[in-house]
Amino acid sequence: MSKDRPITAVIIGAGNRSLIYASYALQHSDELQIVGVVEPNQERRQLTAERFDISPDNCFASVEELVVHPQLADAAINGTMDQQHLETTLPLLKAGYDVLLEKPIGVSEEEVLELYEAANFYQRTVMICHVMRHAPFYLEIRKQIESGVIGDIIAIQTEENVSYHHMATSFVRGKWNSLANCHSSMLLAKCCHDLDMITWMKGSVRPRKVTSFGGLFQFRADKAPEGAGTRCLVDCPIEATCIYSANNMYIERDLWGVYAWDTRYVSSNPTLEEKIQSLRTSNPYGRCVWRCDNDVVDHQTVIIEFEDGSTASHNLTGATSKSCRTIHITGTKGEIFGTMEEGYFLVRQPDTRPGHLYKEERIETNVTSDMHGGGDLRLVADFVRSLRGNKPSLSSTSLEKSMYGHQIGFAAERSRAENTIVEISSLVVHA
- Element (H or E) spanning 194, and its range? helix 186-201
Higher pLDDT, 402 or 357: 357
Decide if pLDDT at 2 tops 60. Answer: no
In this structure, of 93-97, 133-137, 232-236, the range with the lowest mean pLDDT score is 133-137
Q: Which domains does the chain have, with CATH numbers?
A: 7-128 (3.40.50.720), 132-219+294-371+391-423 (3.30.360.10), 224-286 (no CATH)
Percent of the chain with pLDDT over 70: 97
The pLDDT tens digits of the residues spanning 307-318 come to 999 999 999 999
Higher pLDDT, 393 or 241: 241
Residue 268: pLDDT band (50, 70, 90) is: confident
Q: Are 301 and 213 in contact (CB under 8 A)?
A: yes
- In degrees, to the nearest 5, what angle opens at C-alpha 129 toward C-alphas 4 and 331? 110
Q: What is the mean pLDDT of residues 52-75?
A: 97
Return the pLDDT at 429. Answer: 47
The pLDDT tens digits of the residues spanning 189-226 come to 889 989 999 999 999 899 999 999 999 999 999 999 99
CA distances from 208 to 21, 128, 173, 308 (A): 33, 22, 35, 9
Decide if pLDDT at 186 tops 50. Answer: yes
Return the pLDDT at 181. Answer: 83
Residue 90: pLDDT band (50, 70, 90) is: very high
Return the pLDDT at 369. Answer: 56
Q: What is the dihedral of CA 428, 184, 411, 168, to 10 degrees?
A: 150
Return the pLDDT at 431. Answer: 37
**Angle at which helices 109-122 and 399-418 cross, to 10°:** 170
- Across the chain, what does the average pLDDT equal? 93
The pLDDT tens digits of the residues spanning 401-421 come to 789 999 999 999 999 999 999
* Beta-bridge partner residues of 212: 302
Q: What is the mean pLDDT of residues 3-32?
A: 94
Return the pLDDT at 145. Answer: 97
Decide if pLDDT at 277 tops 60. Answer: yes
Residue 1: pLDDT band (50, 70, 90) is: low
Return the pLDDT at 334. Answer: 98
Return the pLDDT at 402. Answer: 86
Decide if pLDDT at 305 tops 80. Answer: yes
Return the pLDDT at 401. Answer: 78
Q: What is the mean pLDDT of residues 132-140?
A: 91
Q: Please state the pTM of the whole predicted model.
A: 0.88
Q: Is 68 helix (H, G, I), strand (E, B) or coil?
A: coil
The pLDDT tens digits of the residues spanning 368-406 come to 655 555 778 889 999 999 999 888 788 877 788 789 999
Residue 430: pLDDT band (50, 70, 90) is: very low
Q: What is the mean pLDDT of residues 353-377?
A: 82
Return the pLDDT at 4. Answer: 74
Please state, as a whole number, how many other Cβ atoms lie within 10 Å of the Cβ of residue 241. 9
Q: Are 22 and 35 in contact (CB under 8 A)?
A: no
**Angle at which helices 186-201 and 136-147 cross, to 10°:** 30
Strands 358-364 and 344-350 come out as antiparallel
- Alpha carbon 175 to chain centroid, angstroms: 14
